[in-house]
Amino acid sequence: MAYKLLIFDFDGTLANSFPWVVAILDELAEKFNAIPVDHSKLDELKNYGPRKIMKMHNVSIWKLPAILRFTRSRMKTNGESIHCFEGVGTMLKQLRDNDIRMALVTTNTCETVRRVLGDDLYNLFHLFEDKVSIFGKPAALRRIIRKSGLEPSEMLAIGDEIRDVEAAKKVNIPFGAVSWGFSNMEAMASHSPEHTFTEMSQIVDLVVPSPFIFDAAA
């Protein structure tokens, strides 16, 4: 079945925010009494889901809302270094030009998303679920299903983390894993995503039947 709606994650999928997050890890650990992250072992963490990472660093689930509020606030006031991955603009415009609807489901805020994407790209999205909790993506995806009027099989969720693919599986939405975000692709593959993307252009190639020239610099 052809996909009629693509549901994008934001951080790590459209926006290269991981370096910014790494820069505040020590501050987060001190503020929330967590075990500091060993920066030499960041690649190891990319193999794990959030629950294991939380356990490794003494982060209780009840702390998550406060951690998210703090991170969102800090990103709002000091997130100028966060930018889109190369090719995002071209991809989103090609999808729009071929009548593919788009939604966004993110733990971030629409305000930050708009600032990073810019008004033109932000306005290409039809549906939004922002300020989603770390483990709240299944519920957010269900809301997207209701608002869209489509069947889950007509949608494709696209993300970069293990929790993204787990959320999509819970609500029976096909999933596409990207290689340029947080989670290791081998770890993502163990959750059997329907598609994997190593280049931005492959997303368009999957859902747009007619050939076109993908210019990442556009």
pLDDT given for residue 41 in this prediction: 86
| Tens digits of residue pLDDT in 2-44 | 899 999 999 999 999 999 999 999 999 999 998 998 988 888 9
35 touches 29 (CB < 8 A): yes
Tokens 């059997």 appear where? 192
In whole numbers, what is the pLDDT of the chain averaged over residues?
92
Is the model's pLDDT at 122 over the cut of 60? yes
Give the lowest-confidence range in 50-54, 160-164, 196-200.
50-54
N- to C-terminal Cα distance for the chain? 30
Among candidate residues 95, 115, 118, 122, the one with its CA nearest the CA of residue 176: 95
pLDDT given for residue 217 in this prediction: 55
pLDDT given for residue 56 in this prediction: 87
What single-letter DSSP state applies at residue 36? P
Q: What is the CA radius of gyration of the chain?
A: 17
| Of 76 and 164, more confident | 164
Is the model's pLDDT at 171 over the cut of 90? yes
| Tens digits of residue pLDDT in 67-106 | 999 999 999 888 889 999 999 999 999 999 999 999 999 9
68: left (phi over 0), alpha (psi -120 to 50) or beta: alpha
Cβ-based neighbours of 135, under 8 Å, separated by 6 or more: 50, 163
